[in-house]
């Protein structure tokens, strides 16, 4: 029996991303601080901040800029009312395996008392403790950690309230964190530009990126101008969590049927569940089933973005009807909606039972597809 929906092929156009992929090669760009000054001076937001200081008559003393020194570890005090306690697991993991390299250690950040001359640690005690303990264990080529001079960035103050606020800033509050895309780009460029394959995490990241590129799918930065192009995605955390097998299937399917769109976030958990549940049930995820699912999405939802939003709304409605409240969101809703709707509409390919049992209420004999928007259900009925 022929499935009631047939996929309508979409004309494939050249994807500019194959030429402008930001992970393919270095931009070759370099900048000076003069370039950055000019860039900020041309910013209305920057000028507004400058005018606010000028209006208040504020200027700043360059002597207050943090200074650099090398201080014996034995002379540095850790104030436990400012810093958190020692993270034993973190320190142990830092030196674990062959990946430890002293060149990756961070400097300590301290407040130096102008009255006693003592250095009070504001940040970096995990690094300092790790080095001191490694010296004590004989893992460094020096005998006494107490006299080991360690690089310290410091400010001169007796005001410990400043130190407490500084610890919060250094550890996140007010600090611009590196994005997941930038972290991924660094891993890829370590290999593609620098030729360094020593880090297995970098190697795995490159394998995943290459799977995407093979199927015309590309990670890009959030809010990047590149998101307008087909095959791009910004959900780096979902990409990082996905197995290579799931990415191979997900990107291949997207490029076959939805190559004209960006890769929607729902594709990642959807194919995670497909790979896991079909494999566990020893059922083949056939090409026929893949095409029929795409046909159903195309006919009823238009694209994966609309499908993803409809699936989320259906889960919320189902949970409200079943339990009387919305409940916590879960990304297993996508596979449940897709496969239960497929079977409900006459799909005959084998589907793992575990996907049919999720979000099903035996008392009312209703499943999650019954809570899709009425216009979708009416469209499906009329097909």
The predicted model scores a pTM of: 0.75
Cα→Cα distances 372→40, 46, 134, 300, Å: 49, 48, 59, 11
Q: Is 199 helix (H, G, I), strand (E, B) or coil?
A: coil
Find the domain containing 51 and state its range: 29-59
In a domain, 18, yes or no: no
In a domain, 254, yes or no: yes
In a domain, 13, yes or no: no
d(CA 156, CA 326): 53
Query: CATH code at 106?
Result: 3.90.1530.10
Cα→Cα distances 276→56, 57, 66, Å: 62, 64, 52
User: 147 with 195, same domain?
Assistant: no
Number of domains in the chain: 3
Residue whose entry in the numeric block shows the structure tokens 């092929």: 9
Q: Would you say 251 and 287 are in contact if contact means Cβ atoms under 8 Å apart?
A: no
User: 190 with 258, same domain?
Assistant: yes
- Residue 60: pLDDT band (50, 70, 90) is confident
Per-residue pLDDT tens for 9-25? 999 999 999 999 999 98
CB atoms within 10 A of CB 290: 18
User: 127 with 253, same domain?
Assistant: no
User: 261 with 374, same domain?
Assistant: yes
User: 268 with 369, same domain?
Assistant: yes
User: 256 with 312, same domain?
Assistant: yes
Q: Would you say 355 and 273 are in contact if contact means Cβ atoms under 8 Å apart?
A: yes
- Residue 363: pLDDT band (50, 70, 90) is confident
User: 337 with 369, same domain?
Assistant: yes
Average pLDDT over residues 180-205: 91
Q: Is the alpha carbon torsion for 50, 54, 55, 59 positive or negative? A: positive
User: 336 with 188, same domain?
Assistant: yes
d(CA 136, CA 107): 19
- Quote the pLDDT of residue 300: 97
User: 33 with 92, same domain?
Assistant: no
User: 76 with 193, same domain?
Assistant: no
* Neighbouring residues of 16: CB distance < 8 A, sequence distance ≥ 6: 229
Angle at 260 between CA 265 and CA 253, to 5 degrees: 60
In a domain, 11, yes or no: no
Name residue 119's beta-bridge partners.
76, 112
Per-residue pLDDT tens for 266-324? 999 999 999 999 999 999 999 999 999 999 999 999 999 999 999 999 999 999 988 89
User: 256 with 354, same domain?
Assistant: yes
User: 149 with 263, same domain?
Assistant: no
- Residue 360: pLDDT band (50, 70, 90) is confident
In a domain, 344, yes or no: yes
In a domain, 90, yes or no: yes
In a domain, 292, yes or no: yes
In a domain, 34, yes or no: yes
- Quote the pLDDT of residue 166: 67
């Amino acid at each position: 029996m022929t499935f009631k929906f047939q996929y309508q092929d979409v004309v494939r156009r050249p994807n500019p991303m194959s030429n402008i992929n930001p992970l393919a090669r270095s931009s070759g760009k370099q900048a000076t601080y003069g370039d950055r000054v000019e860039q900020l001076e041309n910013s209305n937001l920057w000028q507004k901040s400058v005018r606010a200081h000028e209006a208040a008559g504020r200027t700043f003393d360059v002597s207050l800029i943090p200074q650099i020194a090398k201080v014996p570890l034995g002379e540095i005090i850790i104030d436990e009312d400012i810093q958190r306690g020692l993270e034993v697991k973190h320190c142990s993991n830092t030196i674990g395996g062959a990946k430890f390299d002293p060149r990756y250690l961070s400097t300590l950040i301290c407040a130096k008392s102008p009255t006693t001359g003592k250095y009070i640690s504001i940040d970096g005690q995990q690094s300092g403790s790790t080095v001191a303990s490694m010296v004590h264990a004989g893992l460094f080529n020096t005998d006494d950690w107490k006299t080991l001079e360690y690089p310290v960035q410091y400010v001169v103050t007796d005001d410990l309230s400043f130190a407490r606020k500084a610890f919060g800033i250094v550890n996140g509050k007010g600090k611009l964190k590196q994005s997941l895309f930038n972290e991924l780009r660094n891993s890829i460029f370590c290999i593609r530009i620098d030729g360094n394959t020593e880090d297995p995490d970098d190697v795995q990241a490159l394998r995943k990126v290459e799977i995407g590129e093979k199927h015309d799918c590309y990670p890009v930065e959030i809010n990047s101008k590149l998101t307008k192009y087909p095959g791009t995605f910004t959900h780096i955390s979902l990409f990082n969590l996905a197995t290579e097998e799931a990415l191979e299937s997900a990107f291949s399917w997207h490029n076959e049927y939805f190559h004209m769109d960006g890769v929607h976030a729902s594709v990642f958990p959807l194919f995670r569940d497909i790979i896991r549940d079909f494999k566990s049930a020893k059922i083949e995820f056939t090409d026929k089933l893949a095409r029929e699912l795409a046909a159903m999405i195309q006919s009823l939802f238009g694209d994966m973005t609309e499908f993803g939003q409809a699936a989320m709304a259906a889960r919320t409605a189902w949970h409200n009807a079943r339990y009387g409240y919305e409940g916590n969101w879960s990304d297993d809703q996508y596979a449940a909606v897709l496969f239960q709707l497929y079977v409900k509409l006459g799909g005959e390919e084998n589907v793992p039972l575990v996907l049919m049992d999720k979000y099903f209420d035996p008392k009312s004999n209703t499943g999650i597809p019954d809570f899709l928007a009425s216009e979708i259900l009416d469209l499906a009925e009329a097909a």
